[in-house]
Structure 1
Amino acid sequence: MVSHEHQGTTSSALTRLSVSSARLFDVPPKGYAHLLGLAPEHLNDDLCRTPAATGIRIAELTTVHTPWTELSVALAQQSDPGTFGVWDYLITSAPTPLEGLRDAATYIAIVADSSTDALRITEDGAHVTISHVNQADLTYEAACAIRGYALGLYQRRLSEAAQRRLVPVRVTLAAKAPRRHEALAELYGTRTIDFEAPDTSITFLASELNTPTPHAQPGLSAVLRRHAEQTLATAIPLHDWLDLFRTALASAHEEAAATLAAVARRMAVSTRTLQRRLDEHGTTWNNEVESLRRARITRLLHDTDLGIDAIAARSGYADARALRRAVQRWYGTTPAALRRSGRATDRRVSVPGATLGA
C-alpha cells in the first residue's frame, strides 16, 4: 500500500502544524524557513509530502525555546478535526472508535513517516492500549514532544468519535519526568502518567472504544479507506530538487502554462540552469513533460468519463489522434482498452465486504 517513495516524508498538514507551533513559541524563522518543503506552494499543497527531516528540525528548534511538554500540548490543541483530512475521518466516522483506530493504524503513512512511526493496538480483555512507536533520529527533547503529542492526538480523535471526552486508564511515556507536568495531565485528563516507561502508550477501557459511534453511516468506512488509498497514490513526496521541479511542472500544467520558461520562473532560475539541473538528475524537459502527461491521461481514463478529445485538450495534445499515438507508444494499446482495464481493476478492488489495505 505504501510506496517506498513515501518513506522519509510526512504530510504537509503535519509540517504546517509544526511551523504554526514554532511561531507560537517565537522560534526565529531564519532557523528553518530555508528547509525543503517550506516554500508556500509546497507547504500549502496537501498533495505534497514534506521531508521528515524538515519537521524534525523544526521540533528540535522549538524545544530549545520551550519545554517539550508545552510543545506536545500546543500541537494537540491545534489539531482540530479535519487537520489531517481523511485520516481523521477514518477514526471519527467508523462504526466504533476502535474500528476507526484500526483503520488509522493501517493508514498512518497519510500523516507520518511510515519508516519510523507506527501506531500499535493491543487488546487485553477489559483494556485497549494504543502505543506510538517513533524511531526517528531526533534530539531527546524533540522525541519526547512528538511522543507526548501523538498520545494527545489519539485521545482527541477517539473522544471526537465517541462525542464525549474519553479518560484513559493509564498513560506511559518513554521520557524522563519533567519538573512540572500539569499541562500533560490536563491534556490527557488524568494524572496517572508513568514516566521513564519502556514505551509510549495510552490505555482505555475496551467497553468505551467498542461503543457504537454516534451518527456512524453504514458503508462510509469503506469509502474513506478507498479515499485513503487515493490520497497516498496521488501524493508527491519531496525528497530533493527533482521533486520540487515536478511539483512546479504539475502546477504549471494545471494552469496551462507548462513551458520551460514558465517553470523556470516559478523556480526562480534561468531556463539554462533548469535544463542543466535536469541533466544532472539524469532526465530532460521532454521526458518530464511526457511522464506528467502519461500519468494525467491514465488517471483521466481510469477515473472519469471524459471523451478522448477532451482528455487530449486537457493534457496538452493537439488532438485525439496524437493522444492515441502516445498511449500506443506507452502501453501498446488504445485509450479505450486502457480505460476498460482500469475500470475492471476498480471493480475488483471494490468488491462488497473487501477490506482495502488489509
Structure 2
Amino acid sequence: MAPEHLHDDRYRPPAVTSIRIAELATVHAPWPEVALLLAQQADIGTLGVWDYLITSAPTPLEGIRDAARYLAAVVDTGTDTLAITEDAGRVTLNHLNRADLAHEAACAVRACALGLYLRQLSAAAQRRLVPLRVSLAAEPPRRHEPLIELYGTRSIEFGAPISSITLRTGDLTAPAPHAQPGLSAVLRRHADHTLATAVPLRDWLDLFRSALASVQAEGTPTLSTVARRMAVSPRTLQRRLDEHGTTWSAEAEAVRREHVSQLLHTTDLGIDAIAARSGYADARALRRAVQRWYGTTPAALRRHGRP
C-alpha cells in the first residue's frame, strides 16, 4: 500500500489483506502474544475517528455505542460485528468474527478486538478498567500471561461461541473526565463523511491483473517482466497466484483474450497486425485461439460484436 493510503482514513484495504497479515504474524509468534502486541500498538488516534468516538463521548458507555454504530470505520462489517448488551449492572461487548482465517490467526484477531475495546474504554475513563469476565472463541493457549496482561484479569474463559468482555455498568456510565459538550455529534458527522467518501482499495489479485495489463499494453508479457513490475521474484509471484487459486498461464491467457477482443472491436487493424500486437506467431495462431475462446473466427467476432 502506498503511504498516502496508509495515512488517510478514506482508504479501505480489503479484508483479505488484514487476514493475511494476521496469518503471517501467527506463524512467527503464539496468538496471545500477537493479540497483545497489536493492541499495544493501537495508541489513541491510531484508528482515526473511531478512537475519538469512544474517548470523547460524555460517558464511556455512550462512546462504545458510537463505536459499535461506526464499526465500519475500522473493520469490514461483513466479517466483524460488535453488539452491546446490558443486564443487572453489567455491560457485555460481544465481538463476532466470521472471517475465514486460519485457527491461530482467528484467535489472535478475536482476542485483540476485545483488548482494543478495553484499552479505548480505559482511555475514556482515564483509569485502567478491569473486566468482570472475558470469554474467547478460542482454545486455551499454552501460555496465558500475554492475555492476563492484555485484559488485567485472570478471569478468562475459552471455547465460547462468541468472544465477549463484561464490565461493570458503573465503570462505563461515570462521566468521562475529558468529555466536551457537542464533540460527539461533530465526530459522528465526521465518521459519516469518512464512510460516505471511503475508497475501497483493491486486493493483491486486482493489483497483479493491473500490472499484467500494463505490461501487455507495452508488448508481450512474461512472468519475469510482471514480477519485476510488482517488485517480487518470479517464484514468489507464482506462489501468490497459486494462493489466489489461479495460474500465470490462465491469467496471461485472459488478458491476451481481452486484448484481442478490444483490438477487433475498437480498431480497423487486420488479423495479421492484431496477431503481431498480441504476441501470436501469425494470423493462423490467432484464429486458433479465437476459435478456442469463442467458437468462432476473428472476422465473425468483429462483425457480431463482443461475445
Q: Normalised by the shorter chain, which TM-score bucket?
A: 0.5 to 0.7
Picking from 135, 153, 175, the partner of 2:116 is 153
Does residue 184 of structure 2 align to residue 210 of structure 1?
no
Does residue 158 of structure 2 align to residue 195 of structure 1?
yes
**For structure 2, which runs of at least 5 residues remain unmatched after alignment?**
219-254, 263-307
Higher RCO (C-alpha under 8 Å, 6+ residues apart): 2
Residue 237 of structure 1 corresponds to 200
**For structure 1, which runs of at least 5 residues remain unmatched after alignment?**
1-37, 245-263, 284-358
Cα distance in structure 2, aligned partners of 1:42 and 1:216: 30
Amino acid in the other structure paired with 1:153? L
Provide the TM-score with structure 1 as the length reference: 0.58
Question: Where has structure 1 moved over 2 Å in runs of 4 or more?
Answer: 38-47, 239-244, 266-273
Does residue 80 of structure 2 align to residue 91 of structure 1?
no
Cα distance in structure 2, aligned partners of 1:165 and 1:193: 17
Cα distance in structure 2, aligned partners of 1:72 and 1:89: 22
What number of residue pairs does the alignment pair up?
A: 225
Distance 1:240 1:167, change over 3 A: closer
Encode CA deviations 1:178-199: one digit per residue, 9 max, x unaligned. 1111111111010000111222
Cα distance in structure 1, aligned partners of 2:180 and 2:31: 39
Encode CA deviations 1:301-345: one digit per residue, 9 max, x unaligned. xxxxxxxxxxxxxxxxxxxxxxxxxxxxxxxxxxxxxxxxxxxxx
Q: CA deviation at 1:122?
A: 0.6
Contact 1:96 1:209 in 2 (8 A): yes
Provide the TM-score with structure 2 as the length reference: 0.67
Amino acid in the other structure paired with 1:133? L
Residue 46 of structure 1 corresponds to 9
Residue 17 of structure 1 corresponds to none
Q: CA deviation at 1:215?
A: 2.3
Distance 1:141 1:270, change over 3 A: closer
Encode CA deviations 1:221-257: one digit per residue, 9 max, x unaligned. 111000000111111101358987xxxxxxxxxxxxx
SS at match of 1:118: strand
Percent identity of paired positions between Structure 1 and Structure 2: 66
Distance 1:222 1:269, change over 3 A: same
**Larger of the two Rg values belongs to structure:** 2
* Aligned pairs for 1:102-141 within 5 A: 102-141=65-104
Cα distance in structure 2, aligned partners of 1:95 and 1:117: 26
Cα distance in structure 1, aligned partners of 2:165 and 2:204: 40
Residue 184 of structure 1 corresponds to 147
Q: CA deviation at 1:107?
A: 0.4
Contact 2:84 2:91 in 1 (8 A): yes
Contact 1:97 1:213 in 2 (8 A): yes
Q: CA deviation at 1:45?
A: 3.8
CA-based RMSD: 3.0
